[in-house]
């Protein structure tokens, strides 16, 4: 079944899905766009900023990938009760007449009407290396920045920063320590850590590939990672959410315990193993051990063994899926968690704000410059600054150890 967007939602909350289609630009479309490119602010010099790398305009794609004779477009309905379509992949700064002519040359759009043309924006930003981990500016106390002003692009990036900046502004006026989500705790933590320690020279977008702990940062465990943080902060309506997380942990523990003890005989399981091309067993094997095999899943056992089916039927699919993931990938998850624990030890080594980096002998000139500019608060943060090498971190640790 499709996952439910909210951990607090139910399948009944979700409206029926609407089909999305695909079409392509063609040579005629490209010809019209190329004719209009001199009138595009992206190419005329009216806009000087760097465009987003991951969603370039259609004219940008045609210029940069001139060898391509077509580009894929997603035809996305704007809603269940409208005839408006969003043409994903056709963003443009071209004049309205050029956009309309080019649009009508696309297969399926021959009779299309254009409600609103595409447009380009240009925005200024403040280099995010001027921020503390709380998103408070270093130069102006109690001023917090979030969103495009920090060099990001995308609604989700802005929303994530806005949430953290708002929480930290509230904590600041209460003289409480700021909330810092670590890179191993959430993608918001990765985004903010990247911005303030690495900066950005182009519109920043959050991708899973930017995170080094992707096995831990899964969609199925987001509630267990982040609900306790919100609960400790005293955020509204967290009691029921925290209760759900506690029940989820308890259920996972019960299922793991059950399948860790339950054994299955060869005559019970071998027909299934042979059917999926997996090696048969010769003696009783624990349910959990068999679950490590690639083509075996919880529902495989549910459908065949009445006793297991009776036990597992107490739990919904969400619980069964996350428990199965935890068992199947336990070795990888544990290895990644060990790495996180090692790195967190460096995160807990705080750098005194009165340290004068220029006076530390042994630090490279670049490290002194970057450390002085960014002013990291922990050794972990310092280690992620571009230009600060492992040997610089060793020098810093020795200096602080004195």
Q: What is the pLDDT of residues 8-50, one digit of tens each?
A: 888 888 878 889 999 999 999 999 999 998 888 777 776 777 7
Query: Token pair for residue 99?
Result: 């956009």
pLDDT confidence of residue 164 = 98
- Tokens for 107? 């297969």
The four Cα atoms 198, 41, 66, 113 give a dihedral, to 10 degrees, of: 110
pLDDT at site 39: 86
Task: Supply the pLDDT for residue 301.
Answer: 87
Q: Compute the average pLDDT of residues 94-119.
A: 95
| pLDDT value at 185 more than 60 | yes
pLDDT tens for residues 200-258? 988 999 988 889 899 999 999 999 999 999 999 999 889 999 999 999 999 999 999 99
Under a CB-based contact definition with an 8 Å cutoff, are residues 133 and 196 in contact? yes
pLDDT band at 357 (very low <50, low <70, confident <90, very high): very high
For residue 402, pLDDT beyond 60: no
Using one digit for the tens of pLDDT, what is the confidence trace for 131-181?
A: 999 999 999 999 999 999 999 998 999 999 999 999 999 999 999 999 999
Asked whether the predicted pLDDT for residue 81 surpasses 80, the reply is yes
Contact 336, 213 (CB under 8 A): yes
Question: What is the model's pLDDT at position 2?
Answer: 66
- Strand pairing category for 72-77 and 85-88: antiparallel
For 268-304, what is each residue's pLDDT tens digit? 899 999 999 999 999 999 999 999 999 899 988 888 8
Mean pLDDT over the full length of the chain: 91
At 135 the pLDDT is 98
Indicate if the pLDDT at residue 87 is higher than 80: yes
Percent of the chain with pLDDT over 90: 67
How many CB atoms neighbour CB 312 within 10 A?
19
């Amino acid at each position: 079944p499709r996952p439910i967007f909210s951990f607090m939602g139910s399948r009944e909350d979700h409206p029926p899905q609407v089909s999305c289609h695909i079409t392509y630009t063609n040579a005629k479309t490209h010809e019209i766009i190329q004719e209009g490119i001199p009138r595009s602010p992206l190419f005329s010099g009216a806009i000087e900023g760097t465009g987003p790398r991951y969603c370039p305009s259609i004219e940008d794609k045609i210029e940069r990938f001139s060898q391509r004779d077509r580009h894929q477009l997603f035809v996305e309905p704007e809603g269940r009760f409208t005839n408006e379509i969003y043409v994903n992949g056709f963003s443009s700064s071209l004049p309205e007449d050029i956009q309309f002519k080019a649009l009508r040359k696309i297969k399926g759009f021959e009779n299309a009407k254009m409600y609103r043309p595409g447009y380009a924006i240009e925005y200024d930003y403040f280099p995010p290396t001027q921020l503390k981990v709380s998103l408070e500016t270093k130069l102006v106390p109690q001023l917090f920045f979030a969103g495009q002003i920090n060099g990001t692009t995308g609604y989700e990036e802005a929303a994530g920063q806005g949430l953290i900046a708002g929480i930290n502004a509230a904590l600041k006026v209460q003289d409480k320590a700021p909330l810092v989500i670590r890179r191993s705790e959430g993608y918001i933590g990765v985004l903010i850590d990247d911005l303030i320690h690495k900066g950005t020279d182009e519109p920043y977008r959050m991708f899973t590939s930017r995170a080094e702990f992707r096995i831990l940062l899964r969609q199925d465990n987001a509630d267990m990672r982040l609900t306790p943080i919100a609960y400790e902060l005293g955020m509204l309506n967290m009691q029921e959410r925290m209760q759900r997380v506690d029940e989820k942990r308890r259920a996972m523990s019960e299922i793991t315990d059950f399948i860790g003890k339950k054994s299955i005989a060869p005559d019970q399981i071998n027909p299934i193993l042979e059917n999926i091309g997996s090696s048969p067993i010769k003696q009783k094997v624990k349910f959990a051990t068999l679950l490590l095999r690639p083509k075996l899943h919880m529902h495989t056992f549910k459908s065949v063994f009445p006793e297991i089916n009776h036990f597992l039927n107490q739990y919904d699919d969400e619980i069964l899926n996350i428990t199965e993931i935890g068992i199947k990938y336990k070795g990888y998850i544990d290895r990644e968690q060990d790495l996180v624990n090692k790195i967190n030890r460096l995160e807990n080594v705080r750098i005194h704000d009165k340290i004068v980096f220029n006076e530390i002998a042994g630090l490279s000139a670049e490290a002194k410059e970057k450390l002085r500019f960014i002013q990291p608060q922990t050794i972990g943060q310092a280690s992620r600054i571009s230009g600060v090498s492992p040997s610089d971190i060793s020098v810093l640790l020795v200096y602080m150890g004195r």
